[in-house]
Structure 1
Amino acid sequence: MTHAAPAPGGYDESELRQVLERGCTEVGLDCSDARLLRGHTNAVYLLERERTVVKIARRGSRIEGVERTVRFVRWLMSLDFPTAPLHPADQPVVVDQHAVTFWHYLPQPSHPVAASQLADPLRALHALPSPPVPLPAHDNLAAIRRSLSRITCLSTDALEFLNEYAAQLETHLEGVQYELPGGVIQGDPQHRNALHLDGAAVLCDWDTVALGQPEWDLVTVEVHCRRFGYGKQHYKAFADAYGWDVTRLPDYRTLAAIRELRMITTNARKVRHAPGSLIEVQRRVEGLRRNDQLLEWNIL
């Protein structure tokens, strides 16, 4: 008996292809030349001739969350906000409990968006009025707890450490004093969640959009610059362009530590779909144990 080979991210390749074909048929797109770009939280295909990107969420992902994302991005587009644009098809299309969305393809150069290019769209996002789409409240610690309850790849000792660390950070968070007005935040702004367009950057991957403190977006950019080898000058260029430096916040270290813990626990939860990431996850956990704030991480 033979089994279908898993696609990147742990997807079943033959099933994924069927979902792609049925979803594209639903909206009248030709997927005969589809090429898998990545498979992680979503499986992402490029339809070269159609100039369309197709995102397929895992079975069991909250359909209403994808529907909310579509409504939110449609609203952004109505404001001419710098976002990756949705295809005009009626979406999401649901195929066997997978939510499928369709996006205009924006060809990209080989280099990612620079942190400084994130400043203008993020500042514009943080200045938006209340959206007509109900958004969840941003809660990193709740996301961390959900991940911790589902991690199966780490030792009991490591999980005990992470749970205790999360509890300590939750206590510290109670005393954090924010300085910026709350509003719409992207939730995970970074170099790979933005695209080049006409010499500027547009935001994409809106799965984590929420209502919350802009400081969470800004500390995410800082963490990515520090942890993934971009360097202090790269982050400084972002802070100068945005007009506010989150590292000057007295409680910056608490926010940064929580954001890093969320990144680690999210990837640990996904190890079963990406077994090759286990060594890097364990390496990051050991870095936390040593309180190594400068350990450079490898991208997963």
Structure 2
Amino acid sequence: MTAPAHTYGGYSETEMRHVLQRACNAVGLDSEGAEVLRGHTNAVVRLRHDPVVVKIARKGSRYEDVERTVRFVQWLMARGFPASPLHDVPQPVIADGHSITFWTYLPQHDQPVAAQQLAEPLRELHNLPTPPIQLPEHDTVGAIGRSIAAAHALPASTQAFLSERLERLTKELDEFDFLFPETVIQGDPQHRNALHAHPRAVLCDWDTISRGRREWDLATIEIHCRRFRHGAGQYQPFVDAYGFDITTWPGFTVIRDLRELRMISTNARKIAQAPHTRSEVERRIEGLSQGDTSMPWNIL
């Protein structure tokens, strides 16, 4: 049986390269020999001949969402906020109906950004004034429900298990009051969504930017430290630098479990286009069914 072809953001490699070439031609860049950096969600490519990273939005992404991200990051850059900078070309670019953005390439160290380095920019983000861009309301519960419904590669019994878990956690969430007021949140702050940039780390990947409660961002940091082998040795310095430990809040376990369920359901929805991820998704779901909160996860 022939193994399914690998895809990048939902594109075959041939299709992705064609879109990349057309987008680069539109802004005077050379796509020849470009290197794929990531492909599970969006196709992220580093150009060989220019210090530029190109991000082809996942197939099916709305232009309006990508345009909003560009305008938001432009606002951050104008404020001097530590964000990965956009390349200075008119964007987003549309190629074959797909949305493409261009970012300044920042050379990276061998070591990824540590959790502690995320604390200062994340706290600064959480204390920004209301931006002049209409951001969507953060909706973890709704996003999980949509992903479970679209996870057609899973057996019906597994979808039912995830749906029942979502229903229970949603009821439990209603029993808690959030500690902090609504603000701008990144939505997925983690080691891989930040880059080294002298003199400090900068945040990147703003697809999940929204208005919501910072508790979701803080729980995400804790999850990544615990699940992806960064450990308490990274989490405690983050807490010290940020100035608050989300695990001390009584509602933490509920939003932790919802955030993990979102991470699982989002990847479950993508199995059809990324079949190599199935075993990891199934392993995570089995861990949920066993109540295992310490099992390490593998990056997808």
Q: Shorter chain as normaliser: what TM range?
A: over 0.9
Within 5 A, what are the aligned runs for 1:169-184? 169-184=169-184
Query: What is residue 213 of structure 1 aligned with on the other side?
Result: 213
Task: Quote the sequence identity (%).
Answer: 55
How far apart are 1:58 and its partner, in Å?
Answer: 2.5
Instruction: Give the distance between the partners of 2:171 and 2:158, measured in 1 at CA.
Output: 20
For residue 63 of structure 2, what is the aligned residue in structure 1?
Answer: 63
Normalised TM-score (structure 1): 0.96
- The Cα shift of 1:33 comes to 2.8
Q: Deviations over 1:209-243 (max 9, x none)?
A: 00000111000000110111111121111011000
Q: Deviations over 1:31-50 (max 9, x none)?
A: 12311112121111111321
Secondary structure of the corresponding residue to residue 150 of structure 2: coil
- Output the amino acid matched with 2:72: F
1:57-136 to structure 2, matched below 5 A, reads 57-136=57-136
The equivalent of 1:164 in structure 2 is: 164
Residues of 2 paired with 1:22 and 1:296: CA distance? Answer: 40
Give the letter aligned to residue 225 of structure 1.
C
One-letter amino acid of the counterpart of residue 117, structure 2: Q
Partner of 1:13: 13
Q: 1:205 and 1:35 mapped to 2: Cα distance?
A: 18
1:217-232 to structure 2, matched below 5 A, reads 217-232=217-232
Q: Which runs of 5+ in 1 are unaligned?
A: none
Alignment of 1:42 with 2:42, yes or no, is yes
Retained in 2: the 8 A contact 1:130–1:183?
yes
**Two-structure CA RMSD over aligned residues (Å):** 1.3
Measured after TM superposition, the shift of residue 18 of structure 1 is 1.2
Unaligned runs of 5+ in 2: none
Moved >6 Å (runs of 4+): none
Q: Hey, what's the Cα distance between the residues in 2 that align with 1:117 and 1:160?
A: 39
Structure 1 match to 2:275: 275
Structure 1 letter corresponding to 2:260: E
Contact 1:59–1:97 at 8 Å: present in 2 too? Answer: no
CA distance in 2 between counterparts of 1:70 and 1:278 reads 32
Aligned length: 297
Q: Return the TM-score normalized by structure 2.
A: 0.96
In structure 1, how many angstroms separate the alpha carbons of the residues matched to 2:280 and 2:7? Answer: 20
State the one-letter code of the partner of 1:259: R
Q: Please tell me the residue identity of whatever aligns with 1:148.
A: I
**Once the 2 structures are TM-superposed, how far is the Cα of residue 273 of structure 1 from its aligned partner?**
1.6
Distance 1:194 1:232 in 2: 19
